[in-house]
Amino acid sequence: MNKAILRLFALVVLLFALLVGFTSRWTVFEAGSLRSNPLNRRQLLEQQRIPRGQILAADGTVLARSVPAGGGVFRRTYPSGGLFAHAVGYSYITIGNASLERSRNDELTGQRTSVNTILDQLRGRKRQGDDVLTTLDPKAQQVAISQLAGRKGAVVALDPRNGAVKVFASVPRYDPRTLARPGVFQTLSQDSARSPLLDRVTQSGYPPGSAFKVVTAIAAIDSGRFTPSSTVNGDNGVKISGVPLNNDFNQSFGPVDLTTALTKSINTVWAQVAVSLGKATMARYMERLGFDSQLPLDLPSAELRPSGEFKGRRLLSPTSSLVDVGRMGIGQDKLDVTPLQMALAAAAVANRGRLMAPHLTDRVVDRDGRTVQRVAPRTMSQVMKPATANAVGQMMSQVVQEGTGTAAALSGVQVAGKTGTAEIVPGQNVNQVWFIAFAPLDHPRIAIAATVERSDGQGGTVAAPIASAVIQSLLGGGG
Amino acid sequence: MLRPRNRELLALVPAGLLVTGGFAAIFIQSSKRLSDLSLTYGLAFLGLCVITHLAIRFVLPDADPYLFPLAAVLASFGLVIVYRISPTLARQQAQWYVLGLVLFAGTILFLRRHGLVVLERYRYTIATVGIAMLVLPRLPGIGEQVNGAYLNIKLGSIKFQPAELAKLAIVIFLASYLRDTRQILAGGGRRILGVEVPPMRITGPMLLIWGAAMGMLLLTRELGTSLMFFGVFVALLYVALGRVRFPVIGLLVIWWAGAYFISQHVGHVHERIQAWQHPFDPVLYNKVGGSYQLAQSLFAQADGGLLGTGFNESLLQLPNGHFILPVPESDFIYSVITNELGLAGATGLLLCYLLFVARGLKTAVLAPNSFAKLLAVGLSFIVALQVFVIVGGVTRVIPLTGVTMPFVAYGGSSVVMNFVLLGLLLAVSDRARREMASG
């Protein structure tokens, strides 16, 4: 009998091993897939119990914070309302989260390495989110929003030296405080006429119009094929891809140098330059500037769309046979670009040809005030030689001094920029108007793109004043 | 070398520390300050254990020194976790422990006076009571259906799980019955087609017991309880025969066949099996009596990981105050433990059970006669099976059933009856070790 008892014990050991095996399966081996199971709402409920960290502007203004909602649960609130709605986003159990609230969710909920978690546990501390300090400037943001004055559009401004985004304005806005109310989110997301939830800075693709000539100028001069004083025939009606191209008001300029051609935004000149450079050269410089791929901004990748030539919803390579390179060179053809991408083009020129990766987060700080993560300036690419950047910068400053962008001129500060007016409905004066710029010319601290949808004005008259007001605010009011 | 009783006393210290430490952890987590109340609880628990220890010292001086401390560790484990879930339930649970220990003392005193023989003498009475207990929950008026299964009886405000009492009765009956028939069973039967078949007067009662198990499954609709009772019967049969024989294998096969047939035809059992096979099927998940519980149990364990979230840190309640995992204090206490203490804590708990079963089976090995041996095997093995059935249920090894975790889960009848079980086991052990020492 004793032998049988021993065998029975062996069976018990086997059964218990099976239990330990299955427990390991759920706690370790398949824990990941269990946590991501759509039926599993524990993570969401759990996160509700964690006080999320604050999101702060560069000057310390609280953009988002958590307040106790009773029962050990926290609720998100946005003290500055919709000021930075599209950059900060929202976080609610019912509708999920967006923008920085989504991309910085791990930091905001205090998701750390397990070693830290265990240490915190040993010290008996409840989990708490870290604060996210952004690079955003509320004063300038307010200026941008009041300058847009309810017109649909976007303004984005950043420091070209390190990529820190200062202004991130998209109009129409939404108030994140109201989103959790029943039906509000539904209504806003179905409002296709205004699309208030759409972040126009990174998600709207617009035709860039003549603002794109800056890109063509960069390619022309940096490739060594042209200099600012190279002359090209500026007559009206030059055939590009077999079809005559017109200048504004069908004006003919005769042979002009490139500086003049940029200052007066002469279409035929820049189209011929682009044709002469060829698709491959244009593609190389566009790629260095960030076109054709998702920009490395710290927002959720679903909220970032690439800029470039599009056929329907499909992104084309600039070397595709479907591309009319001459018209692309003046911002027409099938170009769809985001305001952020256009601001980066100005930023690359401003920072002596070195394009810095844009970012909204400056640093992440834990509850004890220790910086746990700092976003270091990172080079995206060396787009052009410093000499090229210098030359293109000079050309852009002429635009503001005596060309189409004089409305952006500020007293005491030299602004370099380029206007853009892309006709949306031919012949009806409905335009996508642009102004991209940087300032001050000698030691640039700001690069900016401002755009307004379906305007009946011009880039120089509508977008340039918006940009200059924001630049003035960012450079310290007086200018 | 320490004498056995001194070893037992020393082995109680971990249980006392576990209670003190566990309560301290929960106090710190919930109120951010250490209350000396945890020390009070710890001391009270330790005091209770010491009193019980003294009872064992006087009544059963030679009994196994580890069984009681292991039960105490398990009980303190349970008390801490139940307290974490609901302080009110923990207070009731503590009262059940006191009652359990009183009955424990009563059991060992009674057996000391009358000897184990008394159990053999009244085996048919005991068996009748046991079977009656299993039928009770099905009787209208006092029976109560929980989640489609019939496991409880309700007398006024007192709820009772008669299966816990039946468990003891049936093990005692089987041990004495198999002791009687052991020689005949092991004796040669006829060979049919090369397999040995025992004579009809043996197979008859065996088929009767099988029939009883199936009938019970039909009545209670509880696959787990049925598996537990039938498993212990087969195990005792195996130990009594000493060899794997046709009856053992045959019985397992017909149990499985019967269970399969019933599961196809009894709605509740069928649902449980479907939920077990497809816990994440959205239709089953949202169905009343579907796979919600099992899926939530697995989600809770996944949150535990290797080391767990820590005492008091797991997610128990939905924002509306309902438990996300139903009945966390009894059916799903293992999931809560895994959630808070991780794989490490859960394995530790299972190891405590394994040690308990090992000491129980050691007692059986040392036991001087067949009845004592079979009784000790039955008592130890049914604890092992019960743990397997409930932990296997919440970890999706087998379909989920509603048996309790011995000593750990909240529940009066379970706690009390398991202490009586411990008393029986210690009584066997005392005699075995004394005879071994003297002989």
ipTM of predicted complex = 0.91
Q: Which residue of B has its CA nearest to A12?
A: B384
Least confident piece of the model among A213-217, B23-27, B364-368:
B23-27
**DSSP code of A359?**
B
Tell me if B302 and A18 make a contact (CB, 8 A cut-off): no
CA dihedral A449, A454, A460, A466 (to 10 degrees): -50
Contact A9 B358 (CB under 8 A): yes
Reduced to 3 states (helix: H, G, I; strand: E, B; else coil), residue A73 is: coil
Question: pLDDT tens, position by position, for chain A (479 residues)?
Answer: 788 899 899 999 999 999 999 999 999 999 888 887 878 878 777 777 888 999 999 999 999 999 988 767 888 999 999 999 999 999 887 788 899 999 998 889 887 655 555 566 555 566 788 999 999 999 999 999 999 999 999 999 999 999 999 999 999 999 999 988 888 988 998 888 889 999 999 999 999 999 999 999 999 999 999 999 999 999 998 888 888 999 888 999 999 999 999 999 999 999 999 999 999 999 999 999 999 999 999 999 889 999 999 988 888 988 888 999 999 999 998 899 999 999 999 999 999 999 999 999 999 998 888 888 899 999 999 999 999 999 999 999 999 998 888 888 888 889 999 999 998 888 888 999 999 999 999 999 999 999 999 999 999 899 999 999 999 999 985 43
Nearest to B342 among A27, A39, A45 (CB): A27
Residue in chain B nearest A40 by alpha carbon = B299
A243 touches chain B (CB under 8 A): no
According to the model, what pLDDT value does residue A479 have?
Answer: 39
> CA of B14, closest CA in chain A: separation in Å?
20
Q: Is B285 on the interface with A (CB under 8 A)?
A: yes
Which chain B residues are within 8 Å of A46, Cβ to Cβ? 303, 315
Q: Does A45 touch chain B (CB under 8 A)?
A: yes
Of the ranges A197-211, B113-127, B334-348, which one carries the lowest mean pLDDT score?
Answer: B113-127
Q: Is A5 in the B-facing interface, judged by CB distances under 8 Å?
A: yes
Query: Mutate which of B315, B318, B339 to test chain A, going by most A C-beta atoms within 10 A?
Result: B315
Residues of A in contact with B28 (CB under 8 A): 124
Structure confidence at residue B196 (pLDDT): 59
Whether residues B392 and A40 touch (CB distance < 8 A) is answered with no
Distance (Å) from the alpha carbon of A31 to chain B's nearest alpha carbon = 4
* Chain B residues close to A50, C-beta within 8 Å: none
Interchain proximity A39–B240, CB inside 8 Å:
no
**H helix or E strand, kind and range, residue A390:** helix A386-402
B397 touches chain A (CB under 8 A): yes
Is residue B392 predicted with pLDDT exceeding 80? yes
What is the reported pLDDT for A478? 42
Put simply, whether A34 touches B (Cβ < 8 Å) is yes
Give A417's contacts (C-beta < 8 A, 6+ positions apart).
Answer: A346, A396, A399, A400, A405, A408, A435, A436, A437, A438, A464, A467
Express each pLDDT in B181-228 by its tens digit: 776 665 555 666 655 566 666 666 667 777 776 777 677 777 788 888
- The minimum CA-CA distance between A18 and chain B, rounded to whole Å, is 8
pLDDT one-digit tens code per residue, B272-326: 888 899 999 888 888 887 889 999 999 999 988 888 887 777 778 776 677 888 8
Plot region of B59 (φ>0 → left; ψ -120 to 50 → alpha; else → beta): alpha
Quick one: pLDDT at residue A429? Answer: 87
Residue A118 contacts B, CB cutoff 8 Å? yes
Judge whether residue B247 has pLDDT over 70. no
Q: Name which of A5, A24, A45 is nearest B318 (Cβ-Cβ).
A: A45
Chain B touched by A17 (CB under 8 Å): no
Contact status of B188 with chain A (Cβ, < 8 Å): no
Query: Are residues B243 and A28, on separate chains, in Cβ contact within 8 Å?
Result: no
Q: Does A229 touch chain B (CB under 8 A)?
A: no
In B296-355, the residues whose Cβ lies within 8 Å of chain A are 298-307, 310, 313, 315, 318-319, 321, 324, 338, 342-343, 346-347, 350, 353-354
CB contact under 8 A, A12 and B381: yes
CATH architecture of A41-135: Alpha-Beta Complex (3.90)
Our CA-based measurement puts residue A331 at a distance from the nearest CA of chain B, in whole angstroms, of 51
User: Does the CB of B358 have a partner CB in chain A at under 8 Å?
Assistant: yes
Cβ–Cβ below 8 Å for B301 and A26: yes
| Cβ contacts of A395-398, under 8 Å, gap ≥ 24 | A395/A217, A395/A228, A395/A258, A395/A259, A395/A262, A395/A263, A396/A214, A396/A262, A396/A346, A396/A349, A396/A437, A396/A438, A397/A441, A398/A259, A398/A262, A398/A263
Residue B13, pLDDT above cutoff 90: no
Q: Give pLDDT, residue B366.
A: 93
Q: Where are the domains of chain A?
A: 41-135, 139-178+192-474
Among candidates B280, B306, B392 on the partner chain, residue whose Cβ is nearest the Cβ of A27: B306
Task: Please tell me the predicted confidence (pLDDT) of residue A124.
Answer: 57
Q: What is the DSSP letter of A410?
A: B
Which of A4, A35, A40 is facing B238, going by the closest CB pair? A4
CA distance B145 to B168: 23
Shortest alpha-carbon distance between residue B397 and chain A (Å): 7
B338·A9 Cβ contact <8 A: no
Listed residue (A341, A421, A424, A348) closest to A381, CA to CA: A348
Please determine, for residue B173, whether its predicted confidence score (pLDDT) is greater than 70. yes
Q: What is the pLDDT of residue B290?
A: 83
Residue B124: per-residue pLDDT? 85
Contact A26/B302, CB-based, under 8 Å?
yes
Rounded CA-CA distance A414/A411 in Å is 8
| Facing B302 at nearest CB: one of A13, A31, A124 | A31
- A458 versus B154: the higher-pLDDT residue is A458
Residue B437 pLDDT more than 90? Answer: no
Residues of chain A with Cβ-Cβ distance to B280 below 8 Å are 37, 39
Mean of pLDDT values over B57-83: 91
Chain B contact for A49 (CB, 8 A cutoff):
yes
Compute the nearest-CA separation of A438 from chain B (Å): 51
At residue B135, does pLDDT exceed 80?
no
Q: Which of B171, B312, B323, B347 to mutate to test the interface with A (most CBs of A within 10 A)?
A: B347
Cβ separation of B239 and A121 shorter than 8 Å?
no
By Cβ distance, the residue of B235, B361, B392 closest to A19 is B392
CATH topology of domain A139-178+192-474: Beta-lactamase (3.40.710)
Contact between A18 and B235 using a beta-carbon 8 Å cutoff: no
The three-state secondary structure class of A229 is coil
Task: For chain B, say whether A36 makes contact (Cβ under 8 Å).
Answer: no
